[in-house]
Chain A
Amino acid sequence: MVALLQVLILDALITVDNLCKSYRNGTVKAVDGASFTVSQGEVFGLIGPNGAGKTTILGCLLALIEPTSGKVSIGGKSPYDLAVKPLIGFLPERPCYNRWMTIEQFLKYQHRLAKRPEEELPQAIKEVLALVELDVDPKKRRIRELSRGMLQRIGLAQALIGKPQLCFLDEPTSGMDPLGFVLIRKLLLKCKTEGITVVLNSHHLQEVEKVCDRIAFIRRGKIESVQSVESLAQLSQVLVVEWQSSTGEKSVDVATLEKIARQAGSNLIDNNGDSARFAAPDKDVAANLIVALTGGGVKIYQATFEKRELVEMFYEDSN
């Protein structure tokens, strides 16, 4: 175990090399040649639309799905290796827990399955319930009595009870309220500060972009790009400019707007008469554009960046 941890600290913790997974005799390719690495202590996001292959990649990393071809290793070892398993905590997307158990029985069972020392158990249960901010009596409440959001918290608690070095979180905010979103961010930050590696899987980038170090964009089973969050911020953003159009005054024509946009290093996306959308790669270009438009006689009363999901921006940009 110590030797494995040393390997994890020195090198990439997870290596996925040309991973392929097909179903139905190869006719359905869930994952098609995915390759990436995850370093120790990194929070790595797998982002993509539904059916992109995110869950299948997680399944291969967890040794729950056998890859058709390619290689997956955790700390240089196969994910099937028993030495790897005690390092892992896993939150499944669908809560599939033993419904008839009380919270305490369930967490005790998971604690024992993770092969943690028995004497740690009472403290471990207290700690994880505090971490996931679940204020219920674990001895009385049964799993079946919990709401979807509470189940998600129990899922997080069982993932953390084995004191994992590597967490796989499949759609961690699924079924959670806004407070739950905040909790997930807090937990991810805590993992980061404690050097726990996290691989998370989501189709909502907003919830994870603030805490992820790098993000892999997946579409139709292929990894389209692996980018740091800083580089993602440089993806084209859309600046929406609205101006005053007085009655009788000639509206701003498209040619003028296009000319001004080009001068400021931007592009006109569309024009609605009293507003227009411009591609603005960064804040400097946006500022130049506003100055140029004002100089061109456009009476701007509002200019804002359009709120778009980062995943949407990425896919639009790559298209």
Chain B
Amino acid sequence: MNRAIFDFTLQDKFSNWKLQLPLLGFVIMPAYMLYLAVQSTPERIAAGTTIWHYFENPAVYLFYSYIFVSDGFVSSRPTGDSTAMTLLFTRPITRFDYVMTKFVAASLGVTALLLPAALLAHGVSFLIGLPPVFDVSLAASIILNSMLASAFVVFLHCLPGVLGVFTFLMLAGCSSAGDMFLASASSDIPEILKYFAQIMRNINFWIGDFFFPFLNVGQLSSGVSFDYTAIVVYLSNITSYLFLGTYVLAHREFFYASE
């Protein structure tokens, strides 16, 4: 763990006025969504599931992780900018240290956004008489999935420049688009768009199941026996992303002459 990079990754984001307002918006968003859902949905239970869907949405975790992992988010520079890393790796920092520091800092950053958001949604839910949103299993799910998303985005960050950004945008974009199509599944959409919608849904499920299988702590022990497979998959995913990130970073060349 490198303290300077850790502080830079977290403090820099939270102390920047350009980001403070959007970050506050992210914290308020689920509670506001819940409020809107209650206004528009006659069945109140459905409103509660809307919020659950927010906290298990891969696109939310990917985007929040990206904010913290990216070195140049504030200045709109893409993630994995090799010119910024050029200077960094002339300092006494190992590639593994860098990957682990980014992973820990981003996990904490995403958790620090989503936990208050869940608590706020819980408060609103309580006020309007809905079943409780927040419980230990949701908190554990948020923490564990923040870690998985951060590990995945750190891996993307380690990929050479454009590749990392492209992969991130494709995954986050497909995930969001798939979500939108899922949400509008029951509504009438033109026939031609149905094929497109199906593709997006498939990609959305594929990303969710393959790259980013959401770990629902509440459901782990709800069956007959404890679901050890989900834990093994979760741990192997995090380990693989961190290992691959370190490997890619160790083999990347950081000089403009090589680009």
Given A82-B92, A96-B86, check contact A59 B4 (CB 8 Å): no
For B2, B83, B258, the residue with the greatest tally of chain A CB atoms inside 10 Å of its CB is B258
With an 8 A cutoff between CB atoms, is A88 at the interface?
A: yes
Residues from 69 to 102 in B contacting A, C-beta threshold 8 Å: 71-72, 74-75, 77, 81, 83-84, 86-94
Question: In whole Å, how far is A146's beta carbon from the nearest beta carbon of chain B?
Answer: 14
B255 near A55: Cβ-Cβ < 8 Å: yes
Given A59-B258, A82-B94, check contact A96 B253 (CB 8 Å): no
B88 near A59: Cβ-Cβ < 8 Å: no
- B255's contact among A59, A82, A113, by CB below 8 Å, is which? A59
With an 8 A cutoff between CB atoms, is B195 at the interface?
A: no
Cβ contacts under 8 Å, A109 to chain B? 4, 8
* Residue of chain B at shortest CB distance from A64: B254
Cβ contacts under 8 Å, B71 to chain A? 98
Residues from 1 to 44 in B contacting A, C-beta threshold 8 Å: 2-5, 7-8, 12, 16, 18
A55 near B75: Cβ-Cβ < 8 Å: no
Cβ contacts under 8 Å, A299 to chain B? none
Residues from 213 to 259 in B contacting A, C-beta threshold 8 Å: 251, 253-258
A64 near B90: Cβ-Cβ < 8 Å: yes
With an 8 A cutoff between CB atoms, is A11 at the interface?
A: no
Question: In whole Å, how far is B164's beta carbon from the nearest beta carbon of chain A?
Answer: 17
- B87's contact among A30, A97, A115, by CB below 8 Å, is which? A97
* Residue of chain B at shortest CB distance from A144: B75
* Residue of chain A at shortest CB distance from B18: A100
- A30's contact among B3, B72, B83, B257, by CB below 8 Å, is which? B257
Residues from 69 to 119 in A contacting B, C-beta threshold 8 Å: 82, 85-86, 88, 90, 92-94, 96-101, 109-110, 112-115
B258 near A56: Cβ-Cβ < 8 Å: yes
* Residue of chain B at shortest CB distance from A101: B12
With an 8 A cutoff between CB atoms, is A23 at the interface?
A: yes
* Residue of chain B at shortest CB distance from A111: B4
With an 8 A cutoff between CB atoms, is A309 at the interface?
A: no
Q: A55 to B4: give the CA distance in the assembly, Å.
A: 28
* Residue of chain B at shortest CB distance from A51: B257
For A98, A115, A162, the residue with the greatest tally of chain B CB atoms inside 10 Å of its CB is A98
Q: A168 to B89: give the CA distance in the assembly, Å.
A: 14
Question: In whole Å, how far is A41's beta carbon from the nearest beta carbon of chain B?
Answer: 21
* Residue of chain A at shortest CB distance from B3: A112
Given A82-B92, A82-B94, A113-B4, check contact A65 B87 (CB 8 Å): no
For B5, B18, B75, B81, the residue with the greatest tally of chain A CB atoms inside 10 Å of its CB is B75
Cβ contacts under 8 Å, B74 to chain A? 100
Q: A109 to B8: give the CA distance in the assembly, Å.
A: 8
Cβ contacts under 8 Å, B84 to chain A? 96-98
Q: A56 to B92: give the CA distance in the assembly, Å.
A: 20
Q: A88 to B89: give the CA distance in the assembly, Å.
A: 11
Cβ contacts under 8 Å, B94 to chain A? 82
With an 8 A cutoff between CB atoms, is A284 at the interface?
A: no
Q: A101 to B251: give the CA distance in the assembly, Å.
A: 29
With an 8 A cutoff between CB atoms, is A279 at the interface?
A: no
Cβ contacts under 8 Å, B88 to chain A? 113
15 further contact pairs, Cβ within 8 A, besides A90-B90, A97-B84, A98-B75:
A30-B257, A56-B258, A66-B251, A85-B90, A92-B83, A94-B83, A96-B81, A96-B83, A96-B86, A97-B87, A100-B75, A101-B12, A112-B3, A113-B2, A114-B92
